[in-house]
Amino acid sequence: MQKRILGQGLEVSALGLGCMSLSGTYGPALSLSEAGDLLRAAYDRGITFFDTAEVYGPHLNERQLAAGLGAIRDRVVIATKFGFRVSPDGKQSKGFDSRPEHIREAVDASLARLGTDYIDLLYQHRVDPDVPIEDVAGTVAELIAAGKVRHFGLSEADAPTIRRAHAVHPVTALQSEYSLWTRDVEAEILPTLRELGIGFVPFSPLGRGFLTGTVKPGSLPEGDFRAGMMRFTGDNAANNYALVEALLALAADKGCTAGQLALAWVLHQGSDIAPIPGTRKVERLDENIAAADIALSPEDIAAIEQALPAAQVLGGRYYT
């Protein structure tokens, strides 16, 4: 697989793997051995960029990565995140916590669960309104100086926050949602990142599966967290699936799946972009990886954007 360079020279595979679903969310958590098999399958196919967080599970996801990637730790890039309150029993509490002392505690705990002595890319999972971003960046800078962390990242931060953090310590990557149906970052965020030399890591590049055409209105099983999201319910879902049907038709003409076309579109938005689609199945892994080899002409891109204009998508990203 081709490589891409994020900020500060961090080299990653053009396509990464978002690992959140391995520890639940879209179904029961995989066992350590099951998750390890999938992670090694991803590595064997050229993926070297793996994304986790302390709150995935909570805590289980990082242990799954340790089980699957421990033997090849020096050949992969592992990104994890801090920033939420997590109780000692491993149950996520409400609210943010990016106090410097908590960041240090969270990093030490993540290192132990990951079975490593360094984190390649450490993200603040969400901006904490109660802690100045300068304090966050300064604390991560200290962890980088100590050798526990190699690169600093932010997630879902706005442009002014990115600038303030970057002034204290260079930001390597921003992770935010980006796909054909979520294009908010294009107006201000992407230009800011490119001005500052910061890479971009889109999560949910397949619209949490909706853009593949396999998630039809009313098809989500009980317990699936997407079932309560505005884009996946009622009239919104019917409207949005009609847009995906147009994408399905384009994909058929192109000889690929709708998911591959949607993922190829993201990959074509810039060489500084490394999306991290998630999956629990090897066959979907193969499908996603194949998208990296799809070439899109300017005419193809225009047709895709005309088929699925983000302005016509109904419903917010989450529950409102």
For residue 319, name the pLDDT band (cuts at 50, 70, 90).
confident
CA atoms within 13 A on the CB side of 229: 19
Taking only the tens place, the pLDDT of each residue in 283-309 is 999 999 999 999 999 999 999 999 999
Taking only the tens place, the pLDDT of each residue in 97-150 is 999 999 999 999 999 999 999 999 999 999 999 999 999 999 999 999 999 999
Spatial distance between the Cα atoms of 118 and 314, rounded to a whole number of angstroms? 42
pLDDT greater than 80 at residue 223: no
**Does residue 7 or residue 228 have the better pLDDT?**
7
What pLDDT is attached to residue 166? 99
For residue 170, name the pLDDT band (cuts at 50, 70, 90).
very high
Active-site hit among 56, 123, 178, 241: 56
Spatial distance between the Cα atoms of 24 and 150, rounded to a whole number of angstroms? 28
Taking only the tens place, the pLDDT of each residue in 228-270 is 899 999 999 999 999 999 999 999 999 999 999 999 999 999 9
On average, the pLDDT of the chain sits at 96
For residue 94, name the pLDDT band (cuts at 50, 70, 90).
confident
Q: Which helix (H) or strand (E) holds 156?
A: none
Phi first, then psi: give them for residue 46, nearest 5 degrees. 110, -5
Cα dihedral value 229, 202, 52, 12, nearest 10: 160
Domains defined along the chain, listed by start = 3-210+266-294 (3.20.20.100)
* Closest by Cα among 2, 16, 22 to 50: 16
The question of whether 26 is a catalytic residue gets the answer no
Spatial distance between the Cα atoms of 302 and 306, rounded to a whole number of angstroms? 6
What pLDDT is attached to residue 317? 93
What pLDDT is attached to residue 283? 97
- Distances from the Cα of 98 to the Cα of 76, 133, 278, 281, angstroms: 27, 9, 26, 34
